Amino acid sequence: MDFNLSELAYIASVWALPVLLAITLHEAAHGFIAWSYGDDTAYKLGRVTMNPLKHIHPIGTILLPLALIVLKAPFLFGYAKPVPVATHRLRKPRRDMVYVAAAGPMANLILAAISALLYNLVPLLPDGAALWLAQTLRISIIVNLVLAVLNLLPLPPLDGGRIAVGILPISLAVPLARLERYGIFILLGAFFLLPYLGRELGLDIRVFDWLIRAPVNWMLPFFSGLAGLPEAMRL
C-alpha cells in the first residue's frame, strides 16, 4: 500500500460526490416512477428523495467501493439500499414495473450527460479548481455509465432482469424471475470467480470487460463529445 493520507483524502474527494449522486438519483428515480404509477411505498418511507443518507448501504456503498479503490482493482463495484416496490399496488403491475426498473439506468444516463455538459465549464476556473472539477466530472460520467450498463444486464435482481421479466412471454419470464434470489451470487461469480479460475487454467475470461467495459467504451465517444474533449475517454 503506497497511499498516504493526503492522497486518500483527494481520491475520496473526487469519487465521493459522483458515486453518491449516481446512486441517490438512481434509487430516487425508481421510487418516483413507482409513486407516479400508484405505489407510494417508497414515498412513505422517505426514499423519493435526493438525500443520499436515505439510500446509502454501509457496505455496498462505502466499504466495498473504497476497498476496491485502495486495492487498485481493475473495476469498481458497489450497491445501494434497494427501493422497495409493492408491485401489486402498481396500476398495471407487469407493464409498470418495466418503467420503474428502467428509471434507474435512465437517470444515470441523464446524469452522465449533465456531467459531460458541465465539463465545458472547466476552462473557466482557476487551475486547481479546474483540475479537481475535471477529474470529478470524468469520474461522474464513467460511474454513471457503468451503473447504467451494469443494471441493464438481464439478470434479476438487476433492473435489466426486471425489465426482461416484464416484456418476455410468461413461459420465459417466470423461470427468469426465479433467479432473483441467486442473481447477485451469479453476478459476483461471473465478475470475480470466473476470471480467477480462468487465470488458474490459462484462459482469458474477462466477463467484466465483455459485459461492462466494452459497452461503456462504445458510449464514451458520444459523452466525450458533449464534454468538448478532443479524444474519447476510456474505461
Angle in degrees, 0-180, between the axes of helices 159-167 and 170-177, rounded to the nearest 10:
150
The yes-or-no answer on residue 27 being catalytic is: yes
Half-sphere exposure of 73 (CA within 13 A, CB side): 14
Contacts of 180 (CB under 8 A, 6+ apart): 156, 157, 161
For 160, the grid coordinates are 435489466
Identify the pLDDT of residue 58. Answer: 81
Q: Over the chain (235 residues), what is each successive 10-residue block's mean pLDDT?
A: 68 85 93 95 90 83 73 68 90 95 97 97 92 95 95 95 96 94 90 88 90 96 95 90
Neighbouring CB atoms inside 10 A of 184's CB total 14
What is d(CA 18, CA 86) in angstroms, rounded to the nearest whole number? 29
Please pick, among 7, 27, 180, 231, the residue that the annotation labels catalytic: 27
Ordered alpha helix ranges (H), 59-203: 64-70, 93-118, 127-151, 159-167, 170-177, 180-188, 194-201
- Cα–Cα distances in angstroms (integers) from residue 133 to residues 6, 78, 223, in the given order: 18, 23, 16
